[in-house]
């Protein structure tokens, strides 16, 4: 029978350490989660497939759950007795549905198998996505009871992973909570995202005395953007809140912001002269085609005592300073 790692006080340091295993710790969200955990007094056990530079205070454990199976993670949990496991691993917006299924579904299956086999029982905080929901009309918030009918391969693969975690929790096999994150941005935003792509183009050299040219698809969407630091504080809160067990909680800013505003904020933060070109690429999209998102964060506020705190300007400034290699 599994021992429960201080189940009544998840996240509270176990003796002098309060260890937390962070899967995908070298990725964008994983790095921010690890920093927030360290700031909260926890020892970070960083797990990723490849060894890359991590903060000196972290302990790195190379591991490939998909390729090698759950055994190594079971051994790590039993040896280190972490108070929690944060699953920040996954594949975002890959062109291959098969790769997304492996990174967002099969990896979760391996993770749950590792937890089942372990003799120690940590809290699992699984990071899902609001893209697991069906798109809503303009003005309609995404809430935890919104329909889960994703329209993308990414959203579908993330939903399968989240469902597996929730089923395991419902069956009493795992002490778990699922956080469905909105569009996370901040320092280290990947270049595959819209703002990450804009930042990369802003760094390109311009003709002497001329503006730098930014080429994008038409900016028509409105999205809920949440600061990576705010999202990471929600992860720490979810790890420490016993009542969150078995719950789905949405994590976002609670506002919908037009992507053109976000691009303009990033351009302003860069201080560069810009020529912005919106190119349809030969495709025509109906003008009335709504592409809007806002996340209801009431449940996270009430259950976790968490609220987003950082302004869009601060978030975008962090993104630009990191991309430009500046401290601010």
Instruction: Measure the CA–CA gap between 183 and 146, rounded to whole angstroms.
Output: 17
Strand partners, 43: 19
Residues of the chain with pLDDT under 70: 1-17, 94, 280-290, 326-328
pLDDT one-digit tens code per residue, 98-134 = 999 999 999 999 999 999 999 999 999 999 999 999 9
Q: Is residue 279 part of a domain?
A: no
- pLDDT at residue 289 in the model: 39
Q: Is residue 199 part of a domain?
A: no
Total number of domains constituting the chain: 1
26 lies in which domain range?
13-185+225-253+294-309
How are beta strands 120-121 and 3-4 bridged, if at all?
parallel
pTM of the model: 0.91
Residue 244 lies in a domain: yes
Give the residue from 97, 94, 166 showing the smallest Cα distance to 128: 166
Q: Say if 66 falls within a structural domain.
A: yes
For residue 314, being part of any structural domain is answered with no
Find the helix or strand (DSSP H, E) in which 111 lies: helix 107-117
Query: Which DSSP helix (H) or strand (E) runs through 300?
Result: helix 298-304
Where residue 78 sits, what CATH number does that domain have?
A: 3.40.50.720
Active-site residue set: 154
Residue 82 lies in a domain: yes
Which pLDDT tens digit goes with each residue over 272-319?
A: 999 999 986 644 444 433 499 999 999 999 999 999 999 999 999 999
The answer to whether position 282 is within a domain reads no
Q: Is 277 helix (H, G, I), strand (E, B) or coil?
A: strand
Whether residue 272 lies inside any domain: the answer is: no
């Amino acid at each position: 029978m599994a021992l429960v790692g201080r189940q009544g006080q998840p996240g509270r340091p176990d003796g002098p350490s309060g260890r937390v295993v962070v899967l995908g710790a070298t990725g964008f969200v994983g790095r921010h989660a690890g920093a927030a955990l360290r700031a909260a007094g926890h020892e970070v056990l960083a797990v990723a497939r490849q060894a890359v530079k991590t903060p000196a205070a972290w302990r790195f454990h190379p591991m490939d759950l998909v390729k090698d199976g759950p055994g190594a993670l079971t051994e790590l949990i039993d040896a280190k007795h972490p108070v929690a496991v944060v699953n920040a691993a996954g594949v975002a917006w890959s062109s291959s549905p098969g790769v997304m299924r492996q990174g967002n579904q099969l990896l979760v299956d391996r993770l749950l198998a590792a937890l089942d086999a372990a003799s120690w029982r940590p809290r699992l905080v699984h990071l899902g996505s609001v893209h697991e929901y069906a798109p809503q009309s303009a003005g309609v918030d995404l809430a935890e009871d919104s329909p889960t009918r994703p329209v993308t391969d990414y959203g579908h693969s993330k939903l399968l992973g989240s469902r597996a975690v929730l089923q395991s929790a419902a069956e009493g096999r795992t002490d778990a909570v699922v956080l469905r994150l909105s569009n996370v941005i901040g320092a280290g935003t990947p270049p595959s995202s819209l703002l990450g792509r804009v930042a990369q183009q802003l760094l390109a050299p311009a003709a002497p005395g001329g503006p730098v040219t930014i080429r994008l698809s038409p900016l028509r969407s409105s999205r809920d953007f949440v600061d990576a630091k705010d999202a990471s504080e929600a992860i720490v809160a979810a790890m420490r809140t016993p009542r969150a067990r078995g719950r789905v909680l949405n994590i976002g800013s609670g506002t919908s912001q037009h992507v053109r505003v976000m691009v303009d904020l990033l351009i302003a933060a860069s201080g560069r002269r810009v020529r912005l070109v919106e190119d349809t690429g030969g495709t025509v999209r109906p003008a009335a085609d709504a592409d809007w998102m806002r996340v209801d964060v009431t449940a996270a506020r009430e259950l976790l005592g968490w609220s987003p705190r950082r302004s869009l300007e601060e978030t975008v400034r962090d993104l630009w300073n990191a991309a430009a290699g500046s401290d601010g």
